[in-house]
Amino acid sequence: MTPAITGEFFLEERRQRILQQLHRRGRVSVAELSQSFGVSEVTIRTDLQALAARNLVVRTHGGAMRAPEAPLIPSLATRRQQQVAEKQRIGQKAAALVADGDAVILDSSSTTLAIAQRLRTRRDLTVITNSLAIAQEFLDAAGVTVVMPGGSLRRETASLVGGDGVEFLHKYNVQKGFFGAHGLTLAEGLTDVSPLEAEVKRPLVALCREVIAVLDATKWGRLGLASFAGLDQVVRVITDDQAPGPLVEEVRARGIDVVLV
């Protein structure tokens, strides 16, 4: 049985942790989850019903199992239509941190795509990315050199994933890395719903002198299946002004600059 988890959880964080258990074990019971999270069985049934309504789980007698074709990773096209105004503001603020001559990393998130759209006129800029959409953004940007690690095509995110082809990036002196995330929590840091995406992001994070998280308010307190950066690796978080105040202050208390736009 999974050890009891103490402390209070945001609603979405608890549900994401339920998905984590399902990912590892294939099925869960209401009784076990109730004991694990320290909440009533009625609460767990409500959680499972909400996840079932999103086609993430299949309800069973006394519990749930992971849906065989659960859409855990929204497509890039879907994500680009969510929190559009917030991502534009975040992208503008983040792009202002990039100077001519820099080498930066942009991951395959929709928020970093908003950054890329504002870097097209930079000079002598090197952008390292596993995102096909971001690479395409710079096709006619004469002052920007795009470098991509190898890997396999992941159509949902229009990105290259897998551990191959990352080693050669060590020759670059990367000033800043900008990373989106499915969620941010104090314990797990930055997380992604795709272990394959997280596998790419971890070595990219390690290359950066400064790691900057770019995420809208809906990502605070959420938890994905795989961590790719601890909060101790993050220098700055750029988010929108609807981010939850108490959690923002806890992150700031750890010495991280949180910028609200």
Instruction: Identify the pLDDT of residue 151.
Output: 87
pLDDT(59) > 50: yes
More confident residue, 10 or 32: 32
Query: Where are the domains positioned within the chain?
Result: 11-66, 76-260
- According to the model, what pLDDT value does residue 2 have? 40
pLDDT tens for residues 123-164? 999 999 999 999 999 999 999 999 999 888 888 888 998 866
Q: What is the pTM of this model?
A: 0.75
Q: Write out the two tokens for 23.
A: 């990912």
pLDDT at 19: 82
**Across the chain, what does the average pLDDT equal?**
87
3-state secondary structure of 121: coil
DSSP classification of residue 163: S
- In CATH terms, the fold of domain 11-66 is Arc Repressor Mutant, subunit A (1.10.10)
10 Å Cβ neighbour count for 192? 27
Q: Which range has the worst mean pLDDT, 29-33, 52-56, 61-65, 239-243?
A: 52-56
- Say what the pLDDT of residue 13 is: 75
**What pLDDT, on the 0 to 100 scale, is given for residue 5?**
42
76 CB-near residues (< 8 Å, 6+ apart): 108, 110, 113, 133, 156, 157, 158
Is the C-alpha dihedral spanning 213, 218, 220, 223 positive or negative?
Answer: negative
CATH architecture of 76-260: 3-Layer(aba) Sandwich (3.40)
% of the chain at pLDDT higher than 70: 88
CA distance to 8, 60, 63, 84, 106, per residue, from 146 (Å): 43, 48, 48, 25, 10
Whether pLDDT at 10 is above 80? no
